[in-house]
Structure 1
Amino acid sequence: MNRLISIFAFSLLLHVSASAAEALTLDQALQLLKAKNLEIKAAAFDERSAKEDIDAVSGKNWGTLTFTQDAARSNDAGNVFGFKLTSREATFGDFGFADFLTPPPGTTNVLTVQPTDLNYPGYRNLFQSKLRYEVPLFTGFMLSSYTDIMKKIKELKSLDKHKIEKQKKYELKKSFYDMALLDSSIKNLNKILDNIHILENTTEEMIAVGYAKKVDLLEVQAKKGNVERLLVQMQSNKKLLYHYISFLLNQKVEHIQTPSSEVSMPKISDAEILAHNIDLQKAATGLKITKDMLKVSQAAYYPTLGAFGEVATADNTFLGNADEHKAYTIGARLSWNLFDGGIDAAKIEKSKIEKLKMQSQVELAKKGILLKIAKIRTEIEGVDVEIASLKKELELANAIYENYEGRYKEKLVSMSDVIIKQSAQIEKILQLQIAKNKRTEKILALEKLANGED
């Protein structure tokens, strides 16, 4: 028998150890969040897409190399003569010399004779292969400015990704601390429920000996039902939290290891928060973009210079006599817009206004964040005082309930008095949970506002 008990106890210990090992810690959850959260993955794709935009713009500096293959058939006089010239196969006969040398009888002026070979040629094919390279040599700094803009847009996408990571991290941490507070409240309510069970048994015994009435038992049972209802609500909230944690981590989570202590107040100054705040970093990057956009507008005042080179071959058959019929062209083009009715000047002025506007928005964002910091810090100080007061009030409510429970047994107070004191005890527990939730939310909000590594 002892051997069986030992085996059972050992098996139970292994089961408990396995369950504890499966419980997800906050640190493990934060690592999973970075790897599995779908919103973070989507933001990472946006960041990669922005990187490709940089390559697309900077690639224009290298120019374009295009290959063109034309295939045509025509009896249009201009086309046929042009096809022959392109393939270097034109002859004097194509100019109508046959009609010039043997004009029709009675012709007094051979210059009026229409050359049939030139005006009514037969069908001819053209197969032309062409390779062309074009490169911009100077664009008034427009391409370099656009490349800088794309780089800063990529920075914005990176900041967006970082912000989403911090937002999801905030939501995950808050869920873990909410779960810890729920567990604490459930534990306290279970103690109260145990006391109610004891009080219920005591009341039944007192009814049996005539020291209590049936209505006293009904009051106790009603209060027990109320506490059980609160426990069911809290268990439902736990299930919802598990569902939300599973959603954040993109996998099924059934057990977590709740934090053992309350979230601590971060030791970070207002200046450090401003330095790490992602929204301010985004605003500063936006300001840099407006400066680059001003450079783009000013590029209209500069000339643009480009060069090109082309090699081609043509024949009435595909690649026929390609080497003999080859040709090349090289050249450059300078373009300079000297007057456009003041349109470029207006665009430059608009870009300057946008830059000034962005500067004021950055300053406004700083002041707005400082206001939020001051508000959160003040609220945390107030909640700390509230929590300290509620802890003392709960301690007093527990002592009063125990006192009234003993006095009820001595018939010094009624069951209604005991239930009232117990209601006050439960109310303080719930008020304390709400206050702790509020404090956790405010501290995590302050960390999120800093957006730095915790």
Structure 2
Amino acid sequence: MKKYLIFLFSWPLLAGLNNLELNQAISMLKNNNLELRISHFNEQMKAYETAAAKGNHYGKLDVSASGMRSNDAGNVFGFKLQSREANFGDFGAEEFVTSLSSPSGPDYITPPSALNYPETRNHYQTKISYMLPLYTGGKLSEYGRITDALHRMSQWDTQKLMNEKIFQTKKAFYDISLVDNYILNLSKIIQNISHLESIVKSMGEEGYAQEIDLLEVQARRSEAESMYNQAKLNRDLAYQFLSFLLNEEVSSIKKVNEMAPMPKIVSEELESNNIDIQKALLGLKITQMAMKVEKANYLPTIGAFGEYGSADDEMWNEFRDKDSYTVGIQLKWNIFNGGIDAANLEKAKVNHLKVQNEVSLAKSGIGLKVKKLETEILSKNADVKNYQKQLRFARKVYENYRSRYKEGIVSISDVLMKQSKELEVLLKLLTLKNERNTKIFELNSILNTGGNV
């Protein structure tokens, strides 16, 4: 009973989505698709890189605290100086004064013990330091713009990926709808073959048909049933792929029209909407920024720094009485580095020229691709209409030959040949519609009809 209750409560969670509409699927795709989630994470990382690059304008503030213990003569004397506690005794003054009263006179030769052999001393130092770039020849500003452009580029990448996933989702919906229709037609064909089989059996009982006729009809029915089962498997595979895209189990969809609508093509809007063109234009701007970065290597850099701190043999003891500060400014200007800067600048200029040509190529290439797809779609439209007529004709011919078979005018092979022609035209029509829809969705992706990010 307990196991039954667990299953009962968990069943709604395991059940797949039913009668899912295309618009609902696209909304779910934008929120649930794992590849899109990963792409959004890449966007966030690029945004943080932009913030990090812009943060360089504000300099760097550090706080440090250190503790040391030493009996090294140089260290101990330095500790005392930093703690503002050095005195003449540290130089051996007391020992020298004592030697003045000696019968042998002042001792100028013996090293002072207090200076060379000091007692072990603790040293604690706390510092606050701040470094600020005042002038970098525009490097920091360009780095900030470049990272900002790279963040924008990641958004274009996400939009392009989203268009691709919408393409795949729409295609899955239309594929399932087409296969459903194909399965429906196959089931009618199987029914017609079964009906023909009954006719052959009746005619055989009356001596008007041979056993080979019945076997031939049964073989054709087996062939049609095999195609029927294969179509169902293909539909299941399409559902599995749709579930993968949405990251949620889908059991059934609301069927769409078998023919996807043709998008409106506005040449003036193509350049401003197409993602590949926008990425190429953005890449061109980045190369311009990169040239400015290389030109900045010929300019000086100026930076300021300040430091405040205190030191003592006890942590934070008499901090204000023993504090100190240091401020300064530094100018650095590279005069010669073997022509490296010149080579890098020329390389950036060549890259800029290359990307200019890539932009022109992207514009002409995308325009040509749109024209090609438009022509192919129009051609497929004409082919679909043609095969729809052929299918209607093939069905009429089959019905005619079936009636003539009853009258003994034609053989069962003739009837099955006409039925085979109907099946052939049906399959070709399905393929044409699928190819046409695929090109429609590809065109939609290029036009970026969903709008910019």
Q: Considering the TM-score relative to the shorter chain, is it more than 0.5? A: yes
Offset of 1:357 from its aligned partner? 1.0
* Separation in 1, partners of 2:343, 2:119: 58
Partner residue in 2 for 1:150:
147
Amino acid at match of 1:158: Q
* Separation in 1, partners of 2:153, 2:432: 37
* Separation in 1, partners of 2:176, 2:18: 17
Amino acid at match of 1:48: Q
Q: How has the CA–CA distance of structure 1 residues 107 and 50 changed in structure 2, closer, same or farther, with 3 Å as cutoff?
A: farther
Partner residue in 2 for 1:29:
25
Amino acid at match of 1:134: M
**Alpha-carbon deviations, 1:225-254, whole Å to 9, x = none?**
111111000000010000000000000100
Partner residue in 2 for 1:442:
439
Q: Which runs of 4+ in 1 moved over 3 A?
A: 103-111
Q: Secondary structure at the match of 2:108?
A: helix
Partner residue in 2 for 1:52:
48
**Relative to structure 2, which stretch is displaced further, 235-244 or 198-207?**
198-207
Structure 2 unaligned spans of 5+? 1-14
Offset of 1:303 from its aligned partner? 1.5
Offset of 1:286 from its aligned partner? 0.8
* Separation in 2, partners of 1:216, 1:123: 115
Offset of 1:411 from its aligned partner? 0.5
* Contact 1:100-1:113 within 8 A present in 2 as well: no
Which of 155, 171, 188 is matched with 1:191 structurally? 188
Correspondences of 1:260-279 after superposition (within 5 Å) = 260-279=257-276
* Separation in 2, partners of 1:191, 1:269: 43
Q: Secondary structure at the match of 1:318?
A: coil
Amino acid at match of 1:83: F
**Relative to structure 2, which stretch is displaced further, 274-283 or 140-149?**
274-283
Normalising by structure 1, report the TM-score.
0.93
Structure 1 unaligned spans of 5+? 1-18
* Separation in 2, partners of 1:309, 1:380: 70
* Contact 1:103-1:113 within 8 A present in 2 as well: no
**Relative to structure 2, which stretch is displaced further, 94-103 or 249-258?**
94-103
Partner residue in 1 for 2:160:
163
Offset of 1:448 from its aligned partner? 1.1
* Separation in 2, partners of 1:276, 1:399: 48
**Relative to structure 2, which stretch is displaced further, 151-160 or 197-206?**
197-206
Kindly indicate whether residue 397 of structure 2 is the aligned counterpart of residue 400 of structure 1. Answer: yes
* Contact 2:301-2:333 within 8 A present in 1 as well: yes
Kindly indicate whether residue 200 of structure 2 is the aligned counterpart of residue 203 of structure 1. Answer: yes
* Contact 2:302-2:331 within 8 A present in 1 as well: yes
Which of 307, 319, 333 is matched with 1:322 structurally? 319
* Separation in 2, partners of 1:371, 1:138: 48
* Separation in 2, partners of 1:122, 1:109: 25
**Relative to structure 2, which stretch is displaced further, 78-87 or 339-348?**
339-348
Kindly indicate whether residue 349 of structure 2 is the aligned counterpart of residue 352 of structure 1. Answer: yes
Kindly indicate whether residue 62 of structure 2 is the aligned counterpart of residue 66 of structure 1. Answer: yes
Correspondences of 1:4-403 after superposition (within 5 Å) = 22-103=18-99, 110-403=107-400
* Separation in 2, partners of 1:423, 1:346: 71
Amino acid at match of 2:219: A
Q: Secondary structure at the match of 1:311?
A: strand
RMSD: 1.7
**Relative to structure 2, which stretch is displaced further, 267-276 or 158-167?**
267-276
Count of matched residue positions in the alignment of Structure 1 and Structure 2 = 435
* Contact 1:270-1:373 within 8 A present in 2 as well: no
Q: Secondary structure at the match of 1:253?
A: coil
Offset of 1:142 from its aligned partner? 0.6
Q: Secondary structure at the match of 1:353?
A: helix
* Contact 2:258-2:433 within 8 A present in 1 as well: no
Offset of 1:102 from its aligned partner? 2.8
Partner residue in 2 for 1:9:
none
* Separation in 2, partners of 1:107, 1:95: 21
Amino acid at match of 1:39: E
Identity %: 43
**Relative to structure 2, which stretch is displaced further, 343-352 or 422-431?**
343-352
* Separation in 2, partners of 1:220, 1:112: 128
Normalising by structure 2, report the TM-score.
0.93
* Separation in 2, partners of 1:428, 1:106: 132
**Relative to structure 2, which stretch is displaced further, 98-107 or 411-420?**
98-107
